[in-house]
Amino acid sequence: GAVVSQHPSWVICKSGTSVKIECRSLDFQATTMFWYRQFPKQSLMLMATSNEGSKATYEQGVEKDKFLINHASLTLSTLTVTSAHPEDSSFYICSARDNRGAGTEAFFGQGTRLTVV
């Protein structure tokens, strides 16, 4: 299957700082990317959907000013956690798909574990 690379795989930051997570599609063009958040022993919760060149659509309860999403190219989307606090510590996962093809599968990155201290 197609490869989605997420970077970094883990990051520790101080409270009040911002952290950027990158999601790249390596061998296909991702017209749509999704960002998820997963707390320990819980399911993946969709945070937002971003289409290349458009503003992201956030799920209810997700603060768009806190979780900034940029999808400026067909192979890269970034999630910036601004003014991070310990409660933002979580596993963040992106997925990507090419809407132009017949397939419906979305390919997942390996995740980023964020720890805010």
Partner 1 sequence: GENVEQHPSTLSVQEGDSAVIKCTYSDSASNYFPWYKQELGKGPQLIIDIRSNVGEKKDQRIAVTLNKTAKHFSLHITETQPEDSAVYFCAASTETGGFKTIFGAGTRLFVKA
Which residues make up the interface to partner 1 (CB under 8 A)? 1, 6, 32, 34, 42-46, 49, 51, 57, 93, 95, 97, 99, 104-111, 113
Beta carbon nearer to partner 1, 44 or 76: 44
Beta carbon nearer to partner 1, 30 or 81: 30
β-partners of residue 76 are: 24, 73
Q: What is the token pair recorded at 42?
A: 């819980």
Residue 94: closest CA among 20, 41, 42: 20
Residue 62: closest CA among 86, 32, 37: 37
DSSP, collapsed to helix, strand or coil, labels residue 68 as strand
| N-to-C CA span, the chain | 36
Beta carbon nearer to partner 1, 80 or 91: 91
Closest distance of CB 103 from partner 1, Å: 10
Closest distance of CB 16 from partner 1, Å: 26
Closest distance of CB 64 from partner 1, Å: 16
